Chain A
């Protein structure tokens, strides 16, 4: 522990709905939490730029505006908000956590007695041939451009993949007067049509989502946007950038000329801080990714809570509830005579959370991605974009005895680049699980070591000058 560490009772990483809600609730109780935000303004991804919206509400939809009250409350509350802050290192200590935080080119050391991770989710890295070409972007990235500066693609894009965001973006582009030229729905068809029948309760609880999705698809079709269902092959082709997209629909390959392919293959927790703390994780079959293990109060370790999509994908409203729940759990640990029974406030939040989460398995099944996708892609498909490692190279390394993600990393440099495996970690796990005939949990994940954000030696040296 460096001697010049700044002390705080409670630190929160992230200022999306979970981080903001946690901070607001703690401030209500008289604490002054420190909130480290990777972004320059609060809101996270879902409420990005909502403090000064760039786009008409009729384009973005009501769910975007829903965050205004939360942002206003966050703004009013006594919170030590630190934008542009990268928490690049954290370590468990006897009485809390040490944090290394990079802000505006300077490194600070913090000592937090309690820590809430609310670092949210990211779009899943999903390799297909040509996904490294300029002109292939994530749909979420395109939506960030829309929120940040009302930016729309000049030429109509092709949208491909699976997940609510894919249709939401298509609908937003339509509302903005720039519909996409084609939507390729790549959800695994078997689960989509069977699941609502198998889960009538989930279908009932999720009827709002279902109706909304159906309305969006109907609007796209009315506008003449072709929506191809059950697409099971995708390739981006071109020289220096994308020129065309090849896709397989009903057993036949089709070609579509386009300069922009927006892909979306669901979202997964941003794993880096939880992984670097070596927290327990388990593969979640329905969400098709690893989730950090949490108890009923969202506690993941001594003095550590994980709230929001970083702990499991539940959406913005659930993230807000989890933020508040984590704050209540923190307050419980600080109370002089903590009670064993949760407060009425906590009980109500838990009930709402259970009800909301009960609709998720249906959504997850409807947007389920084919589990065998990667193993059916051509050998030359890049899995690790940073180090340009292909599926074929990984397969040879496995054939030569590479028995785990860390061995494959050492053999091939897969996961050793600047994104630190965020884009390839679960792909490598899938490949190994398939080839070795082991479970995802048995295969495991990369050993993530700090720094979890890139830091220059010059920036590191600033810590000594304070």
Chain B
């Protein structure tokens, strides 16, 4: 789990995102992947098509380990999509979806 430092700068604006159906407040500077790591950590982030558990590795658009469903669209690169108010995020726990 990643927690916000108490030594950070001024408190950022918060937005509400819906993660697996639950409303959550997160700083609006975060990407989707960062928001999930902040709220829940890396455990349960994603299940790979071979059945193994996976979580973000690079956070910069390279590794594709952060794939996640955003507003009903599966396999989005969570590290490249900034959060916004009302966003619906679902962690992918099953087979790789066809789009």
Contacts and interface: CB of A to CB of B under 8 A. Distances in A.
Q: For chain A, which range describes its interface: under 10, 10 to 19, 20 to 34, or 35 or more residues? A: 35 or more
Q: Which of A39, A132, A134, A386 has the most CB of B within 10 A?
A: A134
Nearest to A49: B29
B99 A456 contact: yes
A225 interface: no
A70 interface: no
Interface string B69-82: 00000010101101
Given A149-B27, A153-B1, A138 B99 contact: no
B58 A151 contact: no
A137 B56 contact: yes
A317 interface: no
Nearest to B30: A149
B12 A135 contact: no
A148 B58 contact: no
Interface in A115-147: 122-123, 125, 132-138, 140-141, 144-146
Given A55-B5, A385-B65, A140 B29 contact: no
Given A49-B29, A454-B75, A456-B99, A149 B12 contact: yes
Interface residues of B, number: 45
Contact of A122 (B5, B48, B60): B60
Interface in A424-463: 454, 456-458
B62 A122 contact: yes
Interface string A28-66: 000000000011100001000100111110010000000
Q: Tell me the dominant secondary structure on chain B's binding face.
A: loop
Contacts of A454: 64, 75, 77
Contacts, number: 147
Nearest to A155: B1
Q: Tell me the dominant secondary structure on chain A's binding face.
A: loop
A463 B34 CA distance: 31
Contacts of B37: 145, 151
Contacts of B99: 456-458
Given A151-B3, A419-B64, A141 B57 contact: yes
A296 B1 CA distance: 47
Interface of A: 38-40, 45, 49, 52-56, 59, 84, 122-123, 125, 132-138, 140-141, 144-146, 148-155, 176-178, 240-241, 260, 270, 385-386, 388, 417-419, 422-423, 454, 456-458
